[in-house]
Amino acid sequence: MSGDPAPIAVAVDGGGSKTDAVALELDGTVLAEARTGTSSPHVIGMAASAGLVSSLIRTLLERTGERPIAAANLYLSGLDLPGEIEEFRSAISGTPWADATVENDLFALLRAGTGEPDAVAVVCGTGINCVGVRSDGRVVRYPSLGTISGDWGGGWHLGERALWFAARAADGRGAPTALQVAVPAALGLAGVQDVIEAIHFGRLPGSELARLAPTVFACARDGDPIAGGLVDEQAEEIATLAVTTLRRLDLLDRPVPVVLGGGVIGGRDERLLGTIERLLAERAPAARMELVTAAPILGAALLALESAGADLAAVQNARSTLEERPAAVVQ
């Protein structure tokens, strides 16, 4: 019937610190937006994650009026394993978006950075992860479960290492470092011992260590060699992920985009980005580095429109609007 409401596309992108959602007309016009905190199942649990995402979608539909959903694409940090994706799908069963595309948020970052069929994306925000895709359908991904799966990097690991060096400087086991003063100051405490005890006794959540990433970069810029070493270690890990993924996809000799995003990368620290660029030039000279400064909801929205069958003009319309939304940044 001509009076029936037109269908819409719904997109959700959830990271380690925030979750964004948008509803779009199929011509790419943004109808409604919503934002809340982290939806990562690793942080809040799977049931809570599914409930939070569903609540965001209901908020969108309240703002657009009840509209049929042509496509819903949901991309969340913490959906790293097939079993986690299936568990999330089970948790949203019975909702109007039960048949949504559900994937890790890296796929949204990848689409925000490029539409090329051969590509790699590395996110470095609260945590670190990587995905690579190839035009023949091959995909390389990582469990991204922290040290138990061989991962290191992102705001939380940088903060943890900063505190480790600060503690050793304070008790004499390690070299002096500006982090000894800067770490407790950043957390609003008097000294390193206060930080240690606050975490040990539960007065300060361990997740707050992610707040120390900007302190590491600031100390490195001021010439602290230990902080500088941490920045270099982070750059090495980002480059290693990208180059390893290119090698596993047999793409080392091709001009493939390496999309970089997330709050740590988005701070555009010259030492970090310069070191990554140099390492990529040495190890994968055909690759090119692409920085994503827009919020990853851009990529989620483009994928939702494409899933709904929207045309290129609609995709470009959505991009022109959503690329103005900046990603979270670590300064």
Are 45 and 85 part of one and the same domain? yes
Categorize the per-residue pLDDT at 326 as very low, low, confident or very high, splitting at 50, 70 and 90.
low
Q: What DSSP letter does each residue of 171-207 carry, written as one string?
A: HTSS---THHHHHHHHTT-SSHHHHHHHHHTTSS-GG
- Single pTM value for the model: 0.91
pLDDT at 3: 66
Tokens 């995909």: give the residue: 139
How large is the average pLDDT for residues 72-86?
95
- The C-alpha atoms of residue 16 and residue 39 are separated, in whole angstroms, by 7
245 has pLDDT over 50 = yes
* Residue 134 forms part of a structural domain: yes
What is the per-residue pLDDT across 121-140, written as a single tens digit (0 to 9) for each? 999 988 999 999 999 999 99
- CB-CB contact of 46 with 40 (8 Å): no
pLDDT at 323: 87
- The C-alpha atoms of residue 122 and residue 140 are separated, in whole angstroms, by 12
Domain CATH for 229: 3.30.420.40
Are 234 and 270 part of one and the same domain? yes
Q: Pick 56 or 295 by higher pLDDT.
A: 56
What is the per-residue pLDDT across 263-274, written as a single tens digit (0 to 9) for each? 899 899 999 999
For residue 88, the one-letter residue type is F
Are 129 and 211 part of one and the same domain? yes
* Residue 329 forms part of a structural domain: no
Domain limits for position 308: 8-105+296-322
Are 67 and 134 part of one and the same domain? no
**What share of the chain in percent tops pLDDT 90?**
89
How large is the average pLDDT for residues 180-189?
98
Are 124 and 25 part of one and the same domain? no
How large is the average pLDDT for residues 7-26?
94
pLDDT at 191: 98
Are 277 and 311 part of one and the same domain? no
* Residue 331 forms part of a structural domain: no
> Structurally, how many domains does the chain consist of?
2
pLDDT at 309: 97
pLDDT at 1: 45
How large is the average pLDDT for residues 9-26?
93
Mean pLDDT score across all residues of the chain = 94
Categorize the per-residue pLDDT at 2 as very low, low, confident or very high, splitting at 50, 70 and 90.
low
DSSP 209: G
